[in-house]
Amino acid sequence: METHKILFESLDKAEKHFEAGEIRLAQKIVNEVSRSIKSGGKVSNKLRHRFNFMSAQSRYFNDISSFATNPKRNEILKKIEALISNPHDNPKKQANYIHELQTKWQLLDQSSKPATRQQWMTFKSLTDKAWEPCAQYYDELKAIKSSNAQERKKIIENLIQYYEDNNSNWPNLIEMSKYLSKTFQSWQSFTPVLDEDFLELKTAYRQAKKPINEAIQNQENKNYKIKEALIEKVKLINDDDTKTCIQKFIKIKDEYQDAGPAGKKNEPLLWKKLNREADRFFEAEKSLVNDELAVIRDLSEQLKKDNCSLIDLKDKLKELNKTRKSPEFEKLKKAIKAYETKQIDTINTKKIESYQSLLSYLDTDEQKHSIIHKEIFNAVKKPLYTGNKDQLIESVVKLELIAQIDPPASDKLIKQKISLEMLQNKFSGKSKTNIEIKELLIKFVNNLQSKKVNANEMKLWKRINEVLSKVATQLP
């Protein structure tokens, strides 16, 4: 179903995020898929296996995160202990190194589960000892931390001002979300701050963001109701024509996508409900497609039989509408074309063989021939036998020029004469190849000396046989 297809696509996105190192984003997508599967009930084994694989990856990265954070904190503590045991000769370098370790410590607190009270007390106690050799530089670094705290306070003030400026008429939630994201990036850039300021600023920052987050939530709730109403409209679609139902659904689906986000947790559930209501249309459409695919398979089997009718096959192919862009339809079209070409080749081969054996019917008693043109066969039955050698050669040379075969050098003058005549006929519009071939063959037969073809005449006939192989599709 279309819903399952979307879940597969979500898992593919999650895998790409994992590969790019965007672990949190990938885990969010996996969690959303998990909620969708739980709320949806039974899913295909293929989707279940795919989800289990991605879920295992998510747990793997969770394990790495939980195992990695505390060892990193312990590593920072060990570095501070080493610094206390063996301080830098340059107080400024020692202060910068402590500052670097404090930044790492605070960033760990921001990006993962906060350190315990005991870990913080240990960290503070050790950093205080590490600061003692560089007391003269401490005031300078303290000023930097104080400056960072002031900048963070400005960010908090800006958040409060943003609320006051917009609370009567909030921007759309995408704009608000971008504003909060940009604010967070700025907040992260002003680190570290003094330990005694850290928690206070963090609390104030959360409080300042809260009304903006609530405004985003309110808009998401409105969008949620809009999307639920659109899902109800899909439920009411009940036309007899499946195509009409699908067209109506697509129109509603466009409105749904224009409605705006309804919250990360709600979106997959709503999307699933929307597509679940439309599954019945696509099931009916799929049934029609399957019926046509069965027809295609039947036609393909008929094509393998020697007595199949290409006309009937082509007529039935025209009746197919749902599968015209399918690989099966294209494959059958190519097979019919190949079969048709093969039949034409077979007919042309028989035609060439019949015409090449034309002289064997001289003075024949047969009344007609199924392949050879009636006028030619009548001439063969009662040739004039004028024995005009020049007319024989002219017939052969002209046939060779029609077939684009270069006549022998001995016939150069005849070639030039006939080429000029053919060019004039071409410009006058009198030239029709199949009629010319018919007349030239009759001319050749009538200018033989007798039923007993002599060596020179047979030599000329062999040249005509070569022509016949080249002009099979133009034979009368």
SS3 assignment for the chain: CHHHHHHHHHHHHHHHHHHCCCHHHHHHHHHHHHHHHHHHCCCCHHHHHHHHHHHHHHHHHHHHHHHHHHHHHHHHHHHHHHHHHCCCCCHHHHHHHHHHHHHHHHHHHHHCCCCCHHHHHHHHHHHHHHHHHHHHHHHHHHHHHHHHHHHHHHHHHHHHHHHHHHCCCCCCHHHHHHHHHHHHHHHHHCCCCCHHHHHHHHHHHHHHHHHHHHHHHHHHHHHHHHHHHHHHHHHHCCCCCHHHHHHHHHHHHHHHHHCCCCCCCHHHHHHHHHHHHHHHHHHHHHHHHHHHHHHHHHHHHHHCCCCCCHHHHHHHHHCCCCCCCCHHHHHHHHHHHHHHHHHHHHHHHHHHHHHHCHHHHCCCCCCCCCCCCHHHHHHHHCCCCCCCHHHHHHHHHHHHHHCCCCCCHHHHHHHHHHHHHHHHHHHHCCCCHHHHHHHHHHHHHHCCCCCCCCHHHHHHHHHHHHHHHHCHHHCC
27 vs 15: CA distance, rounded Å: 10
Tokens of 306: 């020697």
Which pLDDT belongs to residue 371?
83
pLDDT value, residue 67: 57
pLDDT one-digit tens code per residue, 172-188:
878 888 888 888 888 88
Question: pLDDT tier at 344 (50, 70, 90 boundaries)?
Answer: confident
pLDDT at 76: 83
395: pLDDT strictly greater than 60? yes
- Of 152 and 91, which is predicted with more confidence? 152
Structure tokens at 275: 């597509």
Distances (CA, A) of 271 to 4, 180, 217, 262, 382: 11, 26, 18, 10, 85
Mean pLDDT score across all residues of the chain: 79
Q: What is the pTM of this model?
A: 0.39
Could you tell me the pLDDT band of residue 157, with boundaries at 50, 70 and 90? Answer: confident
pLDDT band at 114 (very low <50, low <70, confident <90, very high): low
